[in-house]
Amino acid sequence: MLKHPIAALPWLALFLLVGCIENGPDFQVLAPEQGQLIRDLDKFQVEIQISEEAYDPESVAAFVNGIPLELLASLGGGYSGILPRGLGLGLEPSNQLLVSATRLDDGSSRVRTVEFSWEPLAPDLEFQEQFVQAPPPVETANLEILHTEGRRQNALLEVTFREGFAAPKQIPYRADDQTVFILSDNGLGDDPFAGDGVFTARVDFDFENYRERKSRELLSLALREEGPDELEFSGREIVAKKPLALGPALAALSSPTSLTLVPVAAAAATIDSERALMVRDLSVVADPSRTFDPCDIDGDGLTGNPNGAWSFKTLMSQMANTTATGIPLEVFVKQWLAGWAQNFDTLNGGSISGDWIVNDDVVPDREPGLISSIVTPWPKTSAGALDMDKAPFRLLAIVNRVDLRDAVGYGASTASAGELRFVFGLLDMNSCTPDRMSAIFEYTVQANTCHDVINYAQEWEDLDLVHAPFPATPGYLSHLQSITDPVVAPGAAPLEPNGSSIGQVRTSEVTMNNPWELREFTLQQMPLGTPVQNVLRMDTTKQTPDINFTLNSGMQPTLTNYINSNLVDICNEEHVVPNTWMGMPFMAGRADFFPDTHFWAPGILGSAACSNDDIRFKFSVNTCSGCHGADAIDPGIDPHFYHVDPTSPPGSPVGLSRFLTGTGGSPIPDPSPTIGGAARDFADLDRRATDLQDLLATGCLKLTLSAASMVGAVH
């Protein structure tokens, strides 16, 4: 920015000009906002937007409580100002900002005024870092709207937490650098009664945004030919479905005085999942400038660009980050492929038999299948190396998983806005046909504040709202790349291995050998490498115990003990499967799949809120084996084990499971041998769509009240 000193105008003259205030878009005070509560004096900043075609830039002046600010000007009419620290100026409990400028057409002055307050956080008030990944378990949350005109300090939030949760008397939540609200049960301020278990906070709620979004959703639903259904979810399962009552829904938006935020109301999906959640249209995933397919599976006569933004080679190169780590790309890829090769190095995950050992789980090597299915058919360079420009993996889908976000505002540490995923399918280079293997690159989307998460989610919704229908326009493709590039770029996560934001790479395959299995890889230090050299090495398959704990009758009591010891968390889908249980390795080194794959053990108990059927299901469906097996896929109807099918016919978008698209009139039967539970319905893309809609409608409140049920989710 260019430094732009502004001459001070007399305070009294500015005060007399208040009557000239106008609200035209050519002159706006962006920050602070009317009614805003400022918490951090060091980060206080005034932001002004003004048209240089309509106003004299030399005349722009700003005062806080009569004290002039020095403004910094930027191109396009932007100005920012900070308090002059040299004068020792501080904010007061109540403050007034006045900004003035002279119009060029008639020489008259215009003034904008903003009233805002300042209240620093109490020194003994602490953010709860543990709540970022494990949010407080909210039982109920209701919002009383005090006024609808502004969006600062305009509503009261009342929250109760689940029985047994030891909540501190005050819980601060940071929406942005300046905005912090405090859930309190101390009987002070807006909280009427101390110790009654009802936590109260004065919060910011953008009612106009909420009403505009909900009205737009209802209009979209009203225009559909088929009557829309509202779906109610519990975790991933549909637990209720009812036709939308459009009239009452519109009436409820006219002048509401309160909103129920938890439990989440049933809703109908209006966001197009094909454009904003699970992008698989060939005009995107086979875009010749951004993707690569050495076999031209889509049949358009183009193989694409191996150096495209979304190609297998490019994403692997960015993970390797050779410039910073010194790891050649081919070495990085070979280290990943070595996860199926023989490994006799007992100090680095191997064994004397050549099998891999992950958390004491024996993961058999598949070297013959690796060589015959991948290494030998992979085109080679003239030097005999794997030709990365002809990598046998084609892009199948780009996936937005903002539903896996953290509750970012409870702590100061970096959290996430969920995951960005790229799904690749292996190609059989002997026949140039799709093979039975997928590889999912799952990136953590870095986020520091609630607004980071909201802005990221908004970009995805805009993909659907702003651009023309598929086939994808150049604008859509550029917009999507502008979302993905910052996440996958080298150095996107400076504190993570290789500076990469990759969380894990997961594979599902049967092409190398039986049984069908899923493996998970994370960046770990390369054997004999330096501390900054990390490669993809096998890790535990999260949320999934060793399958023998359900198949082996001698090991079943351990699984029963874990489940019965964690009934409340499992019922609420907040459990995190540990590496060990009862002193023995528990988490699996790989997830095996076979007909009727699921988790069950005799003696599973129920809880006050969940039957033993519900407990078994909620535990099993959150494992890799159950989610890709009989808990979410009907072996008699659905293709086995894939939610995104890499063997889909060439020339068409990749096929999706009914778990994603909707089970309709044929729910998934319960596979347990003795419980004989209820059949279950799913429509996970609709769940993700309604979650995104709710997030963008309720903003930071949605993140404050984040359902912890997705904390351990990986599917």
Secondary structure string (H, E, C) spanning 469-485: CCCCCHHHHHHHHHHHH
Give CA–CA dist 245/40, Å, rounded: 45
Q: What is the mean pLDDT of each run of 10 residues along the chain (715 residues)?
A: 32 34 68 92 88 92 92 85 67 94 94 94 90 89 91 94 91 89 95 96 94 92 85 94 88 84 92 97 98 93 96 98 97 98 96 97 98 97 97 98 92 87 97 97 94 96 96 98 98 97 98 96 95 97 96 97 96 94 97 92 92 95 95 88 93 95 93 84 97 94 70 60
- Domain presence at residue 688: no
Looking at the structure, do residues 305 and 366 belong to the same domain, yes or no?
yes
The rounded distance, in Å, linking the Cα atoms of 576 and 643 is 23
* 193, 187 Cβ separation under 8 angstroms: yes
Secondary structure class of 130 (helix, strand, coil): helix
Residue 162 lies in a domain: yes
50 part of a folded domain:
yes
Q: What's residue 25's pLDDT?
A: 64
Same domain, 329 and 453: yes
Q: Is residue 36 in a domain? A: yes
User: How confident is the model at residue 86, as a pLDDT?
Assistant: 55
530 shares a domain with 383: yes
SS3 label, residue 231: strand
Exposed e or buried b for every residue in 7-34, given b needs 16+ CB within 10 A?
A: eebeeeebeebeeeeeeeebbebebbbb
In a domain, 169, yes or no: yes
In a domain, 685, yes or no: no
Identify whether the C-beta of residue 158 lies closer than 8 Å to the C-beta of residue 198.
Answer: yes
Same domain? 343 vs 475: yes
Boundary of a domain, candidates 539, 560, 578: 539
The CA R_g of the chain, rounded to the nearest whole Å, is 28
Measured between alpha carbons, how far is 488 from 422 in angstroms, rounded to an integer?
10
Q: Are 84 and 15 in contact (CB under 8 A)?
A: no
- 590-635 confidence digits (pLDDT tens): 999 988 899 999 999 998 899 999 999 999 999 999 999 999 999 7
SS3 210: helix
CA distance 196 to 187: 9
Strand, coil or helix: 152: coil
What pLDDT is recorded for position 697? Answer: 95
Residue 55 sits in the same domain as residue 148: no
Q: Give the end of a domain, one of 238, 268, 298.
A: 268
Strand spans (E) along 175-317: 180-184, 199-203, 229-234, 237-243, 258-262, 278-279
89, 118, 147 - which closes a domain = 118
Q: What is the pLDDT of residue 43?
A: 81
Q: Which residue range forms the structural domain that includes residue 146?
A: 123-268
Total domains in the fold of the chain: 4
CATH number for the domain including 66?
2.60.40.10
- pTM of the predicted structure, to 2 decimals: 0.92
In SS3 terms, 305-353 reads as CCCCCCCHHHHHHHHHCHHHHCCCHHHHHHHHHHHHCCCCCCCCCCCCC
Q: Judge if 466 and 535 occupy the same domain.
A: yes
286 inside domain: yes
Verify that 54 and 75 share a domain, yes or no. yes
Closest by CA position to 585, among listed 277, 376, 339, 357: 357
One domain, residues 156 and 130: yes
What's the pLDDT score for residue 2? 31
Clarify whether residues 559 and 487 are in a common domain: no
| Domain identity same for 318 and 379 | yes
Find out whether 614 and 234 touch, Cβ atoms under 8 Å. no
- For residues 471 and 477, what is the distance between their CA atoms, to the nearest angstrom? 10
Do 24 and 173 belong to one domain?
no
Tell me, yes or no, whether 332 and 309 share the same domain: yes
Separation between Cα atoms, residue 453 and residue 465, nearest integer Å: 19
Specify if 700 maps to a domain: no
